[in-house]
Structures are given as C-alpha cells and as structure tokens.
C-alpha cells in the first residue's frame, strides 16, 4: 500500500495553491514597500524580517509538497525516511510561522505604543507574545527530541500548538479591539469627508484583519487536533495564515501615503498610522505653521 491516500488530497493541494497565490500578493506588497518607504532603520529591519520569513515559509511549503509527492509513491515499508523528512519540514515550518506571528505582534505593539496613552496594553501584548514564543520553542525542542520517530507529534506538542494558537487568538483580539477603540474615539475626526473616510478605512481594516486571522487560527487548530496520524490536512492552513500575517502588515504600511494625502487635503496631519516619531513631530510642526 502506498501513502497516496494519506498524504495528498484535493483539499490539501487547493490549500497550497491558495497559499502560493497569497505569496504572490506578499511579493507585490513587499516590492512596493521597499521601493517607496522612508521609515527608520528599526522599522525597516522588522519589516524585512517579516518579509524574509514569509518568503522562507512559501519555499518551505513547496518543499513539503515535493516531499509528500515522493512519499505518495512509496510503500509503507519504504516510506519511513521520507516521512521523517516531512515531519522535520513541518516542524521547522511551524516554528518559523510562530516567529512570523510574534514579529507581526511586535510591529502592531509598536503602533499602539506610539499612538495611545494606554501603556499597560502594549505591555500585555508583549507578555502574551513572549508566551507564544515560549510555546513554539517548546514545540521545536520536543520535535528535535522525537526527530527519530515517524510520529508527526506528541501530546506535549499538541498542548504547545494549542497554547500558541490560543495566545495568538487572544493577542490578535486585543490588538483589534485596541485599534478599533482608537479609531472610533479618535479626537481628530471632524465633519470633513476625507478625515471621516480615513478613520472608517482604518476601523474596517482592524475589524477585517482581526476576524480573518481569528477564523484561520481557529480553523487550523481544529484541523490540527483532529487530523489522523500521517495526514497533513492542517499544513496548508498555517501556510495561508503566514501569508495573511505578512500581507495585512504590508498593506497597512503601503496604504499610509494614500491615507496621509486624504488627511492633508483636509488640512489635518496629526493622524498618521505607525510613523516614526521624528516624522510625527515634523507633521505637527508643518500643521502648526500652516
């Protein structure tokens, strides 16, 4: 008996196809950002790290598909070494996926810290992000321990993955609620159409991003906990989730010039999302001079 009925299915292949398509969007948004951005070096390093992780994970997804195709041609007696390779790639992919999620949370924490007086909220998000990093680290270490086994995971790894996703959902929820409350109660909102449109766009972006990531996180966790041994149904979902993290971050960054132009058309320059402090001060000075 071969592994073809276990490793590959239409849903699995379609999931990988979606992740590859999203990766194309990530490349486009990354190219736009690095071509036009004028951010400080700290923010550029963080965004570069997020972009590199998304590229690495896309390549890793292709490597997983290739290995599974090889595995599907082998009999159960000959497939042990290939199955170990699949497990190793999936373990590395989940670890990199966790690093990507943590990096995105650090990015949004920075934005909250710059534009809100609620200092405990960024500290809470960073604490939860640190716990997420601890969960993926424990999962990675456990994966190294069982690297000689053909099992995909252990009970301890399932606990780590569940803890990671639970913390990620909680953290994304806090980020979403914080941004929504910031934009909904923004003091710079006036009767001008352009300013109201900017705040509405940011508000809808926050809700859409939070809901989308939350649904994918929950879906991946449910599929992961219920997938039988040697079936990898959950792999495409975490590859999709990785690209969504990167895309939503880059889209927000690339959308700043357009939003800033809408604000300047109304002679209001104080609401600029995730901008360097020096640029913020310059905007205030120009507004006061005008």
Query: Hey, what are 162's tokens?
Result: 């569940």
Nearest 10 degrees: Cα torsion 140, 65, 33, 173: -50
Is residue 148 packed enough to be buried (19+ CB in 10 Å), middle (13-18) or exposed (0-12)? exposed
Q: Look over the chain and give the mean of its residue pLDDT values, rounded to a whole number.
A: 78
Q: Indicate the class that CATH gives domain 4-275.
A: mainly alpha
Residue 258 scores a pLDDT above 90: no
Please name the residues in contact with 156: beta carbons below 8 A apart, sequence gap of 6 or more. Answer: 138, 142
- As a whole number, mean pLDDT of residues 226-246 equals 80
> If you average pLDDT over residues 218-244, what whole number do you get?
81
Percentage of the chain modeled with pLDDT above 90: 26
For residues 14 and 107, the model is more confident at 107
| 20 contacts 244 by C-beta, under 8 angstroms | no
- What pLDDT is attached to residue 149? 55
Q: Note the pLDDT of residue 10.
A: 60
What does pTM read for this prediction? 0.80
What is the mean predicted confidence (pLDDT) over 251-256? 86
Quickly state the pLDDT bin for 273 (edges 50, 70, 90): very low
- The span from the CA of 57 to the CA of 104, in Å, is 15
Q: Is the pLDDT of residue 151 over 60?
A: no
CB of 163 within 8 A of CB of 225?
no
* Mean of pLDDT values over 148-172: 81
Listed residue (262, 274, 253, 256) closest to 195, CA to CA: 262
Q: Which residues does 122 contact at the CB level (< 8 Å), separation at least 6? A: 109, 112, 113
Q: Is the pLDDT of residue 83 over 70?
A: yes
Distance of CA 227 to the CA centre of its chain: 23
pLDDT of residue 2: 47
Please list the residues that pair with 75 across neighbouring strands.
Answer: 2
Tell me what the mean pLDDT of segment 232-250 comes to: 87
Report pLDDT for 246.
Answer: 94
pLDDT classification of 87: cutoffs 50, 70, 90: confident
Considering only 25-34, 87-96, 102-111, 192-201, which range has the smallest mean pLDDT?
192-201
Q: Is a pLDDT exceeding 70 seen at residue 140? A: yes
């Amino acid at each position: 008996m071969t592994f073809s009925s276990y490793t590959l299915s239409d849903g699995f292949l379609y999931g990988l196809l979606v992740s590859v398509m999203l990766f194309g969007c990530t490349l486009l948004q990354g190219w736009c950002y690095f071509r036009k951005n004028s951010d400080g070096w700290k923010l550029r390093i963080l965004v570069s790290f997020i972009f590199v992780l998304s590229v690495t994970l896309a390549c890793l997804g292709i490597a997983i598909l290739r290995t599974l195709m090889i595995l599907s041609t082998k009999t159960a007696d000959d497939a042990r070494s290939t199955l170990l390779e699949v497990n190793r790639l999936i373990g590395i992919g989940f670890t990199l996926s966790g690093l990507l999620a943590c990096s995105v949370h650090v990015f949004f924490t920075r934005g909250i810290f710059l534009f809100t007086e609620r200092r405990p909220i960024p500290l809470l998000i960073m604490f939860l992000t640190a716990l997420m990093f601890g969960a993926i680290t424990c999962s990675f270490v456990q994966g190294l321990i069982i690297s000689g086994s053909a099992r995909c995971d252990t009970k301890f790894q399932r606990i780590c993955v569940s803890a990671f996703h639970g913390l990620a959902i909680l953290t994304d929820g806090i980020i979403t609620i914080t941004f929504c409350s910031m934009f909904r109660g923004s003091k710079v909102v006036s009767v001008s159409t352009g300013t109201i449109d900017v705040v509405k766009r940011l508000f809808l972006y926050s809700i859409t991003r939070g809901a989308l990531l939350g649904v994918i996180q929950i879906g991946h966790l449910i599929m992961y906990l219920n997938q039988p041994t040697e079936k990898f149904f959950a792999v495409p979902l975490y590859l999709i989730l990785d690209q969504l993290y990167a895309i939503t971050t880059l889209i927000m960054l690339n959308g700043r010039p357009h939003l800033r132009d809408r604000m300047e058309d109304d002679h209001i320059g104080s609401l600029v999302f995730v901008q360097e402090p020096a640029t913020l001060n310059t905007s205030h000075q120009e507004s006061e001079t005008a």
